[in-house]
Amino acid sequence: MHYEWPSTLSHRVDQMVHEHGSDIAVKDGVGNTLTYSQIAGRVNSIATALVAADAVDGSRVAVFQEPTSDWVCSLLAIFRVGSVYVPLDLRTSLPRLAAIVKTASLAQYLHTRQLCTASLLLGLRIR
């Protein structure tokens, strides 16, 4: 069998949405389940917010989130707008994460409400 993928991951996701929109695409460890169409809607919403915040083409966007379906959508949105993904691993100490944030020249960051306090400790401005 021969499979030919489109040139980018974003194009591949678009293809999967078109072919399998109502099929389950992601099940995470906290009970969230998203179809390909739901992922597309979430990715487009995040991508729109990133573009509105001038986080485009080559700018660095940090992600400080649990590894859930939201993280998957955040990562795909970053790729869609052409930004660079900067992971902020929750298992890393806060001083080390703060050093990464300080030196990364971030255009934007994505986090969950549950991590607002930790985000403030890292020096990230909450909007």
CA–CA distance, 50 with 107 (Å, rounded to integer): 9
* Best CA proximity match to 43, nearest among 22, 74, 8: 74
Residue 1 has pLDDT above 80, yes or no: no
The pLDDT value recorded for residue 114 is 67
**Domains of the chain by start residue, with CATH:** 9-121 (3.40.50.980)
* Best CA proximity match to 84, nearest among 105, 115, 102, 111: 105
- Evaluate whether 14 touches 44 at the Cβ level (below 8 Å): no
Task: Give me the helix-helix angle, 36-52 and 69-81, nearest 10°.
Answer: 50
The pLDDT tens digits of the residues spanning 85-106 come to 999 998 999 899 989 999 999 9
State pTM to two decimals.
0.86
